[in-house]
């Protein structure tokens, strides 16, 4: 599963993207970005429980972001895209039902979804 980068996770948090309650199978970055906290390992009370997530940055997946964007957005995958990105071998594209929203393109599906979220939220 692909997550957003530390830099994108920080931008999302600062732009108001929801930081959920820590749950299993999530990825969180430490506040300085030097380490990843992969749940469920760190949620154990033996290791400080959910308190270890305090001030950390949530790294959402494409489905996490698409859920926030709503049903008018969708994602698809293109191999050897000669139309949108001829220099890339394969890309993920997030589109909106509106004809006035340009597609958001990236090799990482979570990053493509994040680009759409920033655009949809004017960030």
Q: Which of 6-15, 40-49, 100-109 is least confident?
A: 40-49
**Residue 101 — pLDDT band, cuts 50, 70, 90?**
low
Pair of tokens at residue 13: 């948090």
Cα 24 from Cα 118, distance rounded (Å):
26
The Cα–Cα gap between 91 and 108 comes to: 7
Angle at 4 between CA 67 and CA 27, to 5 degrees: 85
User: Between these two residues, 112 and 35, which has the higher pLDDT value?
Assistant: 112
What's CA 8's distance to the chain center, in Å?
Answer: 7
Dump pLDDT digits (tens) for 47-97: 444 555 667 899 999 999 989 998 888 887 877 655 555 565 667 777 777
pTM given for the model:
0.78
Mean pLDDT of 114-123: 88
* Residue 9: per-residue pLDDT: 96
Model confidence at 2: pLDDT above 80: yes
């Amino acid at each position: 599963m692909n997550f957003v980068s530390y830099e994108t996770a920080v931008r999302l948090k600062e732009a108001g993207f929801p930081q959920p309650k820590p749950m299993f199978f999530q990825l969180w970055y430490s506040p300085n970005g030097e380490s990843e906290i992969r749940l469920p390992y760190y949620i154990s009370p033996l290791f400080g429980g959910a308190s270890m997530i305090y001030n950390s940055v949530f790294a959402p997946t494409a489905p996490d972001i698409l859920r926030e964007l709503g049903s008018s957005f969708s994602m698809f995958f293109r191999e050897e895209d000669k139309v949108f990105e001829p220099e890339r071998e394969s890309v993920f594209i997030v589109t909106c039902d509106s004809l006035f929203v340009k597609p958001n393109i990236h090799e990482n599906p979570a990053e493509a979804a994040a680009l759409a979220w920033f655009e949809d939220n004017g960030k």
